[in-house]
Amino acid sequence: MQILQLLLSGIAQGCIYGLIALGFVLIYKATETVSFAQGELMMLGAFCAFAGMSLFGLPFWLAALLAVGAMVAFGVLLELVVIRPILGQPQFSIVMLTIGIGYVARGLVTMIPGIGTETHTLPVPYKDQIWKLGELVVNLEQLAIIAATAVLCGLLFAMFRYSKLGIAMQASSQNQLAAYYMGIPVKRLNGLVWGLAAAVAAIAGMLLAPITFVHANMGFIGLKAFPAAVVGGFGSLPGAIVGGLVIGIVESFAGFYLPDGFKDTAPYIVVLVMLMVKPNGLFGEKLRKKV
């Protein structure tokens, strides 16, 4: 029972990592850049939902929908204003740029008087509800995370598989220049990919909020999603979710069975081992640059 319980909480946590990692991978696949601001986008999403619920008194579902919409707009805008001008520059400058965006987002949120520096609870309808299945205690918040992740993955899969937009995104991620020649509006798609990544991050933020509260530094969890993305293979969407689950479960078990301090470092130990054993991750393709 103990093991099942740990497994459940690990999976729930892993789903969050997986969702944030999904954002990295979406952006990486589309524009071959890595966004270090993903955790901050998640934080902004959670704050949007919180603002909608507490300031405007909206019901949860409406607030969640509005937050996702706002984050899509924010992501598209971000791509348009700061990312697009430096696409094609070395990867390092884009990494630094997104770190800068993260700083700005965190700084701006803490500057909101009265709200930014406090921690808040997101009053979701399923707060603090518990199901008992025999000895297993199922927290409804964790169940919601798992269910929402599954639904989201299904939607994304369907989008990339069947919709014209998703197929165009795949095409532009495989070869941008060829996609241009085929008449795919690559620039607009890149904007949409950032919007999509921001939306996924916002959903992750709202799912995480009932467990860890909403506060300005919740974005640091994004740093644990990097190991998830790497374990899954940086360019693979299902890999991101699987990687997130692996990291979440390892973390949960390490926190229980290993001495203090291993809980926080377990993801990083896993990723270092992974990079040594299989640098391309579980689902990554082995590709080498050719001349």
Which is closer to other proteins, CB of 55 or CB of 147? 55
Say whether residue 185 binds other proteins (CB under 8 A). Answer: no
Residues 200 and 71 sit within 8 Å (Cβ to Cβ): no
- CB nearer other proteins, residue 1 or residue 287: 287
- Residue 226 to residue 233: CA distance in whole angstroms: 10
State both tokens at 170: 């795949």
Q: Which of residues 156-175 bind other proteins (CB under 8 A)?
A: 175
* Nearer to other proteins among residue 32 and residue 60 (C-beta): 32
Position among 55, 62, 73, 111 found at the interface with other proteins (CB under 8 A): 111
Does 226 engage in binding with other proteins (CB under 8 A)? yes
Q: Which of 99, 148, 167, 282 is close enough to bind other proteins by CB under 8 A?
A: 99
**Residues in contact with other proteins, total (CB under 8 A)?**
60
Say how far apart CA 17 and CA 225 lie, in whole Å. Answer: 5
Three-point CA angle 95, 97, 99, nearest 5°: 70
Minimum distance between the CB of residue 229 and other proteins, rounded to whole angstroms?
A: 8
Site for other proteins in 116-135 (CB under 8 A): 116-117
Q: Is 138 helix (H, G, I), strand (E, B) or coil?
A: strand
Q: How far is the CB of 258 from other proteins (least distance, A)?
A: 12
One-character DSSP codes across 238-284: HHHHHHHHHHHHHHHHHHHHSPTTHHHHHHHHHHHHHHHH-TTTTT-
Identified binder of other proteins from the candidate list 31, 38, 139, 149, rule CB under 8 A: 31
End-to-end CA gap in the chain: 55
To which H or E segment does residue 131 belong? strand 130-133
Using CB atoms within 10 A of its CB, is residue 17 exposed (0-12), middle (13-18) or buried (19+)? buried
Least distance (Å) between residue 140 CB and other proteins: 32
- Which residues have C-beta within 8 Å of that of residue 108, sequence separation ≥ 6? none
Residue 57 C-beta: closest distance to other proteins, Å: 25
DSSP bridge pairs for 138: 131
CB under 8 A: which stretch of 10-18, 122-130, 201-209, 220-228 binds other proteins?
220-228
For position 35 contacting other proteins by CB under 8 A, the verdict is no
Residue 216 binding other proteins, by CB under 8 A? yes
Q: Which is nearer to other proteins, 84 or 159 (CB)?
A: 84
Q: Which is nearer to other proteins, 94 or 207 (CB)?
A: 94
Q: How far apart are CA 282 and CA 259, in angstroms?
A: 28
Length of the chain: 291
How far apart, in whole angstroms, are the C-alpha atoms of residue 63 and residue 269?
A: 38
**Shortest Å distance, C-beta 35 to other proteins:** 11
Q: Is 260 in the site for other proteins (CB under 8 A)?
A: yes
Q: In the complex, which residues of this chain contact other proteins (CB under 8 A)? A: 28, 31-32, 34, 82, 85-89, 91-97, 99-111, 113, 116-117, 175-177, 216, 223, 226-227, 230, 234-235, 260-261, 264-265, 267-269, 271-272, 275-276, 279, 285, 287, 289-291
